[in-house]
Amino acid sequence: MSVSAPEDIRPSTSNGDQSNRDTNTPATSTSASTTALPPPQPPPQQQQQQQPSSSTTTTDNNNNNQTSQQPQEKKEKIIPRDVRLLHLIFATHAVHNYQDHVPLQLMDFAHRYTKSVLKDALVYNDHSKPINANTNLNSNTNATVNTDDIRLAIAARSNYQFKPVPPKELLLELAQERNSRPLPPVIPRWGLNLPPEKYCLTAKDWDSIYDEPDEDNNQSSQQKNKKLKTK
């Protein structure tokens, strides 16, 4: 018996199946159209541009804070120790309203005064040394300033540089002596009682040439009179 080879069995696509597929495709499109679409997103370039702008603002704020803090720190560091001590001295004496250059002027005065006092002390120290034959007069290797030299320099300078204040007891004696004298009596007059004319502002504060002749004119007139007498 001869057996024939089996033929290839393939699924046959009928017209009914194709019609079903065609009818299913519109359903998917309608379902997709009914669903809500997501909002449009900006392109990646715009997002990258927005991020640097926010970062630049933060960096600018940080830089401004740093620059504002740096001058304050510098101002605190610039103030020297002597100026701070002068501020404390002013505060102890209840002096709060003064200009900024006042402590600098006081520092300048203190520097010049101490420099001049030390120079005078060196001169006094040189004169107080015993002179030996072996030592040179121009050598300043052994120049050591003592407290006595500084005291002498301060005392010598205070006599002509600073006016000494008289003691309080002397001022009290002078005031008591002056107050012991009675005041002149007040003479009743018409109108306002004014002091003598020389003490008033209306007094004459100028002199005329013709009021009091000069000595030269007197001598010349006397010589003329002598000549006339001799003739």
Decide if pLDDT at 200 tops 60. yes
Q: What is the pLDDT of residues 146-175, one digit of tens each?
A: 888 999 999 888 877 777 788 999 999 999
Beta-carbon contacts of 152 under 8 Å, excluding residues fewer than 6 positions away, are 120, 121, 124
Q: Mean pLDDT for the chain?
A: 71
- The DSSP call for residue 187 is P
Residue 22: its pLDDT value, please? 47
149 alpha carbon, distance to own chain's centre = 37
Whether 133 contacts 105, CB under 8 Å: no
Beta-carbon contacts of 110 under 8 Å, excluding residues fewer than 6 positions away, are 82
Measured at the CA of 58, the angle between CA 52 and CA 62, to 5 degrees, comes to 140
Report pTM. 0.38
Query: Higher-confidence residue: 31 or 109?
Result: 109
Can you tell me whether residue 106 is helix, strand or coil? helix
Tokens at 91, concatenated = 């505060």
Q: What is the pLDDT of residues 6-49, one digit of tens each?
A: 444 454 444 444 444 444 444 444 444 445 566 666 555 555 44
What are the angstrom distances between the C-alpha of 30 and each of 33, 35, 100?
5, 9, 85
Query: What band does 231 get if pLDDT is binned at 50, 70 and 90?
Result: low
Distance between CA 65 and CA 59 in Å, rounded? Answer: 10
- Residue 199 one-letter amino acid: Y
